[in-house]
């Protein structure tokens, strides 16, 4: 029996090239004045689509459900250096030196690029877009900008481009400008999805939902099909992402959305959060945790803010670390003590889980999919100076509403108690399947059934949630549980 029999479908996730551009540029010694220039210089036809391309890191079986999003550098010449000028960005014209022979018009070039992406197996093409007109000046009017974006939206529509990732640029923080771009897309490319964001440093962003930046995020999300919580880095990738997500969802108002904006949240590369709260991913790098989330979303597609209400606990938990050195070359944190405080328990479309622990508690998330009733629960590791990845197993009780819908379990537990509204029938069988495998096993004899409660030891969850041939602890446990009557 395979509990993952549903096919992959297009749901707004994408593989983003930006981090891959850095890794590939450094690995292949791409020329350039600095690392971002090298990153832009490696976006060429051969690098993206050649026989030995290093960009396509996601296994082929997943590609039919994700976009291939080509990031910063595809529409500017070789050697473009933002330290000198940001003016060239925003043309949406495929650079003819990087992509020779793609066609004579901007639409033809985009169409060729889209065809090459789809030939790789992806469901469509996504593009990084800077919110500005190339070489604009003080004489450039809003009417000029509107004309520019209406034209670019038509190009994308005619070429079959699926997704725009709007990022930084001259007008990145202006709600009125981003709203105008959304309006231009709706009028000229109704099927094109638009993503907006508020730019943050990797440890920056709102500290609480009351911060002004949290309100700015919510304000811009209201004209967004997808809103990206923005860049983070270890050891706070999950904690900062969860903090920004909480601040956003506490502020955004369903009644304020314009232009039929869809209202999905893209949390970038935190698959445990995407699975636990039913959110989208902008995949920067692939590992088994990402694969497990992609598989789970076959059963529980990401939900927009219109699909599920968000709730959180009053209890807060704080992660912290002191940095002897900077974690990445592009952000200086040396000598800083950094912390992030987040609600201990969050949920969408369901009750808050109950968490009991003798000492250290994990962050816990849960969600119930509004369409399929599939239920997910996820725990996050903690970060305490000097330990940057601490497992904090706890006794966790969750409350799915459907007795036979699949239950996704991510992370570590002391015990997991699944409490239903009705008693579990005596003839019920319990099946478990690692989210990276294709065969479920009957585990009925290894669980405790007590009326309406299904209780499972955390050691078994770890055993069932890893591939049978797994070596080491490179991937967190992730599995499906399902009651078969």
Which pLDDT value is given to residue 475? Answer: 86
353 found inside a domain: no
Q: What is the pLDDT of residues 149-159, one digit of tens each?
A: 999 999 999 99
228 found inside a domain: yes
β-pairing, 441-442 vs 387-390, is unpaired
CATH value at residue 188: 3.20.20
Nearest to 129 by CA among 200, 182, 191: 182
Which pLDDT value is given to residue 404? Answer: 97
Q: What is the pLDDT of residues 355-388, one digit of tens each?
A: 999 889 999 999 999 999 999 999 999 999 889 8
51 found inside a domain: yes
Mean pLDDT of 399-422: 97
HSE-up of 50 (CA within 13 Å, CB side)? 11
263 found inside a domain: yes
Number of domains in the chain: 1
Is the CB of residue 249 less than 8 Å from the CB of residue 303? no
473 found inside a domain: no
40 found inside a domain: yes
d(CA 195, CA 228): 7
Which pLDDT value is given to residue 474? Answer: 74
Q: What is the pLDDT of residues 414-428, one digit of tens each?
A: 999 999 999 999 999
436 found inside a domain: no
Q: What is the pLDDT of residues 68-78, one digit of tens each?
A: 999 999 999 99
Q: What is the pLDDT of residues 78-112, one digit of tens each?
A: 999 999 999 999 999 999 999 999 999 999 999 99
Tokens representing residue 317 in the block: 């938990």
445 found inside a domain: no
pTM over 0.85: yes
- Domain coverage including residue 293: 14-308
């Amino acid at each position: 029996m395979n509990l993952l029999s549903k096919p992959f479908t297009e749901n707004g996730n994408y593989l983003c090239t930006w981090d891959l551009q850095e890794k590939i540029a450094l690995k292949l010694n791409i020329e350039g004045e600095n690392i971002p220039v090298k990153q832009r210089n490696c976006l060429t036809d051969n690098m993206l689509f050649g026989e030995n391309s290093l960009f396509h890191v996601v296994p082929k079986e997943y590609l039919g459900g994700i976009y291939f999003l080509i990031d910063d550098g595809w529409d500017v010449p070789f050697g473009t250096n933002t330290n000198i000028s940001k003016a060239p960005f925003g043309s949406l014209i495929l650079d003819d030196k990087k992509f020779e022979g793609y066609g004579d018009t901007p639409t033809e070039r985009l169409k060729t690029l889209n065809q090459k992406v789809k030939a790789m197996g992806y469901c469509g093409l996504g593009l990084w877009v800077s919110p500005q007109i190339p070489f604009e000046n003080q004489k450039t009017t809003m009417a000029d900008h509107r004309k520019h974006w209406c034209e670019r939206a038509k190009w994308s529509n005619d070429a079959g481009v699926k997704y725009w990732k709007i990022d930084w640029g001259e007008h990145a923080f202006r709600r009125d400008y981003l709203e105008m771009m959304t309006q231009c897309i709706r009028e000229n490319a109704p099927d094109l999805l638009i993503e907006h964001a508020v730019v943050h440093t990797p440890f920056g962003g709102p500290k609480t939902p009351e911060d002004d930046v949290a309100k700015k995020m919510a304000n811009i999300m209201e004209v967004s099909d997808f809103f990206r919580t923005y860049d983070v880095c270890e050891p706070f990738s999950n904690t900062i992402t969860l903090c920004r997500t909480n601040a956003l969802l506490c502020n955004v108002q369903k009644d304020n959305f314009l232009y039929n904006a869809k209202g999905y949240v893209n949390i970038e590369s935190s698959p445990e959060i995407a699975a636990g709260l039913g959110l989208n991913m902008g995949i920067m790098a692939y590992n088994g945790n990402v694969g497990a989330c992609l598989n789970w979303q076959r059963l529980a597609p990401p939900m927009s803010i219109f699909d599920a209400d968000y709730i959180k606990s009053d209890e807060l938990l704080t992660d912290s670390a002191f940095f002897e050195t900077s974690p990445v070359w592009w952000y200086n944190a040396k000598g800083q003590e950094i912390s992030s405080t987040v609600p201990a328990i969050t949920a969408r479309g369901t009750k808050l889980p109950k968490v009991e622990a003798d000492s250290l508690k994990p962050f816990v998330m849960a969600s119930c999919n509004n369409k399929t009733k599939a239920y997910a629960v996820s725990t996050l590791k903690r970060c305490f100076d000097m330990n940057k990845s601490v497992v904090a197993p706890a006794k966790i009780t969750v409350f799915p509403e459907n007795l036979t819908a699949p239950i996704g379990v991510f992370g570590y537990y002391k015990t997991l108690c699944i409490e239903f509204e009705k008693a579990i029938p005596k003839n019920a069988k319990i099946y478990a399947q690692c989210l990276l495998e294709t065969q479920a096993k009957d585990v009925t004899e290894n669980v405790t059934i007590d009326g309406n409660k299904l209780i499972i030891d955390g050691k078994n969850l770890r055993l069932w949630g890893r591939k049978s041939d797994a070596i080491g602890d490179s991937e967190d446990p992730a599995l499906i549980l399902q009651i078969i009557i």
